[in-house]
Amino acid sequence: MNLLVTGAWSDAKENIEMLTRLGHSVVFLQQETDALPCSYDWVEGVICNGLFLTHPIERFSNLRYIQLTSAGFDRVPMDYVKAHRIEICNARGVYSIPMAEFAVGGVLQLYKQSRFFADNQTRHVWQKHRGLMELNGKTVCIVGCGSVGTECAKRFKAFGCEVLGVDLFPREDECYQAVLPLDRLDSVLEQSDVLVLTLPLTEQTRHLMNTERFSKMKQGSVLVNIARGAVVDTDALIEALNTTLFGAVLDVFEEEPLAQSSPMWDMENVILTPHNSFISDGNSERLEALILNGIKKLSLMTE
């Protein structure tokens, strides 16, 4: 297969020889926005992330295999992929562990008043805080029970939480007390202390969390968004942070980077990070294994 590999795979150059040994012809493109080092019709397979944002997929007339370095499919024209029966694989599972650790860590920072103590340490102030909380016994609702959601469920469960899942495809799963359909979300929100969003962004899930839904959330609850920013209505979130929510852990936003004028920068009850929750020292090894295993299976199928 003629493979175009981009710099979205940070270890690509170290693995080109392996891909060649597997019988593939490989060209490398560091920046996905640059001109291709080959003709579009030469390419039969790609390993990339946002390649099709600047290079229309229609120009790849012989494309039949896509391996993404991301877990989401939102940067790919999926209608075209399905219509042309192009095989596509995402990076499922690669980033789930660090994202789950981020979710738990963020809630713990809010519950344990980490900002208060960090500020006091900076000012050399010795002062106790009597309002610390614990995760044990709390109810956690995870919306989106895929790989990331399930890794979150495992970790919250280990802290003694009751974990409920909400998903388009309900199922029995030992990591959750129950996985309920999306139409049960409102009732679950009323009893949840922590809401974790890990679902993909679609037209159905855009602004899933809006003013009405925030009004149904339990007083003093925490929102964690490690999904996509547009799953949450920003204005509705800001209102909820000023009224009903104890706090929010936010790694994604409707507009990125977050505008300097956003009031969320200065909110004491917000932990804000720049789409960084997936970063980890373990990702490279997992991504390399996933890509090479996929390519090896593809090689066997085409022999």
Query: How far are the Cα atoms of 150, 165, 192 from residue 172, in angstroms, in the given order?
Result: 12, 10, 20
Average pLDDT value for residue range 289-297: 94
pLDDT tens digit sequence for 92-121:
999 999 999 999 999 999 999 999 999 999
Pseudo-torsion of CA 92, 98, 102, 108, nearest 10°? 120
Rounded to whole angstroms, the Cα distance separating 134 from 160 reads: 10
What number is the average pLDDT over the span 271-275?
98
Of 92, 52, 41, 53, the residue nearest 69 (C-alpha): 92
Catalytic residue among 256, 268, 285, 286: 256
Tokens for 58, please give them.
Answer: 């229609």
Catalytic residue (choose from 64, 75, 115, 275): 275
Quick one: pLDDT at residue 298?
80
Check residue 302 and give its pLDDT: 62
**Mean pLDDT, all residues of the chain:** 97
pLDDT per residue as tens digits for the range 161-211: 999 999 999 999 999 999 999 999 999 999 999 999 999 999 999 999 999
Q: Is 303 a catalytic residue?
A: no
Question: Region 237-264: what's the mean pLDDT?
Answer: 98
Closest CA to 278 of 151, 167, 165, 158: 151
pTM for this predicted structure: 0.94
- What's the pLDDT score for residue 301? 63
> Given this model, what pLDDT does residue 166 score?
98
Q: Report how far residue 298's alpha carbon sits from residue 292's, in angstroms, rounded to the nearest whole number.
A: 10
Contact criterion met (CB below 8 Å) for 262 and 237: no
Q: Is the pLDDT of residue 303 over 60?
A: no
pLDDT at residue 288 greater than cutoff 60:
yes
Max Cα–Cα distance, the chain, nearest Å: 69
SS3 call for 132? coil
User: Is 275 marked active-site?
Assistant: yes
Residue 300 pLDDT grade (very low, low, confident, very high; cuts 50, 70, 90) = confident
Residue 225 pLDDT > 80: yes
pLDDT value, residue 8:
98
Residue 256 is a catalytic residue: yes
Nearest by Cα to 154 from 97, 192, 211, 205: 97
What pLDDT, on the 0 to 100 scale, is given for residue 129? 98
E strand or H helix at 114? helix 114-122
* DSSP code per residue over 228-259: -GGGB-HHHHHHHHTTT-SEEEES--SSSSPP
Share of the chain above pLDDT 90, in %: 97
Mean pLDDT of 26-52: 98
Q: Please, which pLDDT band fits residue 155 given cuts at 50, 70 and 90? A: very high
The catalytically annotated residue of 87, 228, 239, 254 is 228
* Residue 80: both structure tokens together: 């075209």
Q: What's the pLDDT band for 297 if we cut at 50, 70, 90?
A: confident
Question: Is it the case that residue 143 has pLDDT exceeding 60?
Answer: yes
Q: Check residue 2 and give its pLDDT.
A: 97
SS3 169: coil
Closest CA to 293 of 148, 146, 89, 97: 89
